[in-house]
Amino acid sequence: MKVAALQMVSTPRVDENLAQARKLMAQAAQAGAELVALPEYFCLMGLRDKDKLAIAEPLADAREPDPATTPMQHMLAQAAREQGIWVIGGTLPILSHEPERVFNTVLVFNPQGERVARYDKIHLFCFDDGERRYDEAASLTPGRQPVSFEMQDKAGEHWHIGLSVCYDLRFPELFRTLGAAKPLDLIVLPAAFTDTTGKAHWELLLRARAVENLCHVLAPAQGGLHENGRRTFGHSLVIEPWGEVLAVQAEGPGVVLADITHERQTTVRTQLPALTHRVLG
């Protein structure tokens, strides 16, 4: 199956970001991708952290998102249907039960434009090196439930796909939980990694998650200097189960394409059956 990680450098203007996302999804579909994933906050990188509250949407009807009240969800569903692809919609702000907070949410749409999965980011990023400070808990409500979903590709093969977002990458127990009942075939991790942490840990941790779960990883990211002054690390990539990077783009908007196969995964799991050797947990 051909998959695509879509890299963006999102702006404070939602319409502009949605237009770029549409363009990248169409480009990926034309290149043969069956599954495409957008980065975290593909819809908005605001000038202030609280800007996401102003564009937050209620969760739309799973079959027919209303373009008037849920335009971002409508765009994702429409693009999936028009292009005939599976769309993992990066993240967008979904209204929370807590005042002045939203969920940072991944939505998955099938080629018919129907929402088939929702994951709310569980682990909230906090960082302070004396120069830069981030605290997602100031505006986000954490999710509580790990989420995976099943898809069937055009060849009739089935894929068990685990959802995660950015800072989740640092918590391997999440991925063990996702693969507890059935091993994962693919981990998808939309991100907006900071340049500082990305240089140190991005590829290292993604390759570790691939190797320890013996599965593929698809990681679409924000990649460049944003209008709010923040620089995101980029390096959207696809990794195979032995930890080899199949495709990567350092910075700037683009489509990162790669073919992933069950055959490669089976070979690795046969040669090194580590998933069957687990003793704890």
Catalytic positions, written as ranges: 40, 121, 166
User: Residues 164, 187: contact at Cβ < 8 Å?
Assistant: yes
- Local structure of residue 143 (DSSP, 8 states): P
Q: How far apart are CA 271 and CA 126, in angstroms?
A: 39
Q: How far apart are CA 62 and CA 150, in angstroms?
A: 16
Q: How far apart are CA 281 and CA 272, in angstroms?
A: 19
Q: Among 255, 45, 33, which Cα is nearest to 151's?
A: 33
User: Residues 249, 7: contact at Cβ < 8 Å?
Assistant: yes
Q: Which residue has the tokens 């947990």?
A: 281
Q: Among 275, 281, 279, which Cα is nearest to 183's?
A: 275
